Amino acid sequence: MSLESLSQEQRIYPPHPALAQHAAIPSMAAYTSLCQQAREQPEQFWEECAINLLHWKKPFTQVLDESQAPHYRWFADGYLNASYNCLDRHVEAGNGARTAIIFEGDDGLVREYSYSALLREVCQLANALKRRGLQKGDRVIIYMPMSVQGVVAMQACARLGLTHSVVFGGFSAKSLQERIVDTGAVAVITGDEQVRGGKVMAIKEVVDEALAMGGCEAVRSIIVYQRTGGKVPMQAGRDITWGQALRGQPSTCEPVWVEAEHPLFILYTSGSTGKPKGLVHSTGGYLLWAQQTMHWSFDLDPVAKPHDVFWCTADIGWVTGHSYVAYGPLAAGGTQLIFEGIPTYPHAGRFWQMVERHRVTVLYTAPTAIRALIKFNSAEPATHPRQYDLSSLRILGSVGEPINPEAWVWYYEQVGGSRCPVIDTFWQTETGGHIICPLPGATPLVPGSCTLPLPGVQMAVVDETGAEVPHGTGGNLVMTRPHPAMARTIWGDAERYQKTYFPPDLRGAYLAGDAAVRAAKTGYFTIMGRVDDVVNVSGHRMGTMEIESALVAHPDVAEAAVVSRPDDVTGEAIVAFITLKNTRPVDPTATTATAEVLRNWVSKEIGAIAKPKDIRFGDNLPKTRSGKIMRRLLRQLARGEAITQDVSTLDNPAVLDQLKA
């Protein structure tokens, strides 16, 4: 999005006052006063939040410990358990019969789990894990299909103080192996196969492949949830089915009370190098915010509004699935829908049909899905949201990437019937939960803007010296005060954490890695995208270096450079520029065939989400005199833009024509 288009006067959508009723933050005045409280007396503010929202086995006496900054510690001497807070306390309060999860399979079959039923299964799995010798602090990899059992696995780990690391089911054996090695995991919880869009795909086999790559010798147990019952290889003594593991296990299990700073999970995300970062999240600060944002951003309150059905469409393999499937909705005691499949199967009206069928009230999805559906739904009028009864909806959420104003307005009008605010939530794997987003019923909305920081979050747009820039001027997005939900470190690499997120010039602020601009009058934030070598395809974050490393690992590739270009549906698309060791393919058939080989290679190395959309071959890549690849030039080539770079120093200017193709 260009600065010019931002500075144009944008339409403001007034808030929906009906939503303000019973809302946790019902007005801008209430919002401002909370922000002020948080700014003036942060310790008191956070202490109140933590005490009001969470059950502490042993209360904390200190709110914030800055002595090891930027590794801030929150509520450090308090003890709690995340699984107890998500399950037991609701059952103990007499709400065990309340529906926790409605699961709809790819095939349309529905299963419901009450809080009591969910707790029983979590306890049984926890007992099975205990029986297999797992202890507080051990790491467990979860590599599962989108399922209730995936959530059960996370909760069971949390119950025992095991630190889980969920790996998205679309990642390759190699990516999985790297994460097993990096975490030093002692167990893997997986499935036999996964089903999406009518297709059955292997999972257990991928785990076996990962283990065969070596370095995973610490893995002693593998538990296999039988999603399809398909025949998969099982190694005696190491592998056991979910059913067998749970058989005979008691349905109660005393939670292991952990210190607030105990690592609840490690989640890998891409950065500027070839190696993904394992971000470590705490138990107390993280859970507090996952729940707090359910109340603030999505107005979830099962007491005042018992009919809410919350649906976050994200997979548990991403941070959105952690905070807004596995932890937030359960901590808040809400009812949520979990969907196994994809938005276009068996037809592109599937989402709307599901909203109608389950009377969904809060729908939280990604701009990519919305943009894809705009296309499909207009090509096939029978699948259009207007064909369905969506009157149950009261709030719409957006996440993962900037939402373009056109998609915003379509979502608002066609899906929400102009009755539901679009809550555009800006946040990151690193922040654990929402940091900038509107409040339903209170914040006037501007399409394409995530509006203002939540109370307790202090954000600014700054220049290279850390000084705030005037509104209307673009700059680096930073967080200027510590926040309880921030990732504490990078697993095994505290130095990288400090270097990446707290560069010395920024006066101790956290660097988000995005550029942003604030609107002149409102101070609203608009996110302009990453400033580092991170691309965002369909809301999934990937490092260009990671894809480059994967490409050059192919025996035929001499050199590779990866950039992105804007894409109508996926937000950004990956474009790879490649020099082969042998001669460059010239005729279209050879070019297409070689490109396909490399695409499949990337899919094997990282996962299908990292496949370049466009691959171009040159005799060499354009470089500066000092030998650096001219990335800005490549970006212009990828986008088909005019070249503004000085190319007079290129040894071989003819290569530009090759790479334009």
Residues that bind ligand WT7 (CB under 6 A): 269, 318-320, 399-402, 424-429, 450, 512-514, 527, 530, 536, 539, 541
Q: Which is nearer to ligand WT7, 188 or 512 (CB)?
A: 512
Q: Which is nearer to ligand WT7, 83 or 449 (CB)?
A: 449
To ligand WT7, the closest distance from the beta carbon of 321 in angstroms equals 9
The amino acid occupying position 228 is T
Q: What is the C-alpha to C-alpha distance for residues 624 and 647, in angstroms, rounded to an integer?
A: 9
Sign of the dihedral through C-alpha 501, 506, 509, 512 = negative
CA distances from 77 to 59, 257, 258 (A): 8, 12, 10
The answer to whether 573 and 371 have CB atoms below 8 angstroms apart is no
The answer to whether 325 and 348 have CB atoms below 8 angstroms apart is no
In 3D space, the residue among 289, 277, 543, 262 whose CA is nearest the CA of residue 431 turns out to be 289
> What tokens appear for 205 in the block?
């086999």
Q: Which is nearer to ligand WT7, 324 or 601 (CB)?
A: 324
To ligand WT7, the closest distance from the beta carbon of 484 in angstroms equals 17
To ligand WT7, the closest distance from the beta carbon of 421 in angstroms equals 14
To ligand WT7, the closest distance from the beta carbon of 448 in angstroms equals 9
The amino acid occupying position 120 is R
To ligand WT7, the closest distance from the beta carbon of 543 in angstroms equals 11
> What tokens appear for 390 in the block?
């969506």
Using DSSP's 3-state secondary structure scheme, residue 111 falls into strand
Contacts of 231 (CB under 8 A, 6+ apart): none
The amino acid occupying position 556 is D
Residue 469 half-sphere exposure toward CB, CA atoms < 13 A: 18
To ligand WT7, the closest distance from the beta carbon of 43 in angstroms equals 27
> What tokens appear for 633 in the block?
């030039």
To ligand WT7, the closest distance from the beta carbon of 3 in angstroms equals 16
Q: Which is nearer to ligand WT7, 280 or 527 (CB)?
A: 527
CA distances from 370 to 16, 103, 181, 400, 569 (A): 22, 22, 37, 12, 8
Q: Which is nearer to ligand WT7, 114 or 172 (CB)?
A: 172
Q: Which is nearer to ligand WT7, 302 or 402 (CB)?
A: 402
CA distances from 236 to 211, 221, 224, 239, 353 (A): 15, 10, 13, 6, 44
Q: Which is nearer to ligand WT7, 151 or 527 (CB)?
A: 527
The amino acid occupying position 305 is K
To ligand WT7, the closest distance from the beta carbon of 450 in angstroms equals 5
CA distances from 494 to 178, 202, 421, 490, 502 (A): 18, 35, 40, 6, 11
Q: Which is nearer to ligand WT7, 512 or 560 (CB)?
A: 512
Q: Which is nearer to ligand WT7, 269 or 283 (CB)?
A: 269
Q: What is the C-alpha to C-alpha distance for residues 288 and 82, in angstroms, rounded to an integer?
A: 10
Q: Which is nearer to ligand WT7, 26 or 543 (CB)?
A: 543
- For residue 147, the 8-state DSSP code is S
To ligand WT7, the closest distance from the beta carbon of 319 in angstroms equals 5
The answer to whether 299 and 328 have CB atoms below 8 angstroms apart is no
To ligand WT7, the closest distance from the beta carbon of 625 in angstroms equals 33
In 3D space, the residue among 295, 354, 332 whose CA is nearest the CA of residue 102 turns out to be 354
Q: Which is nearer to ligand WT7, 428 or 591 (CB)?
A: 428
To ligand WT7, the closest distance from the beta carbon of 279 in angstroms equals 9
To ligand WT7, the closest distance from the beta carbon of 509 in angstroms equals 15
CA distances from 609 to 176, 342, 346, 433 (A): 14, 15, 22, 23
In 3D space, the residue among 590, 588, 612 whose CA is nearest the CA of residue 600 turns out to be 612
Q: Which is nearer to ligand WT7, 269 or 476 (CB)?
A: 269
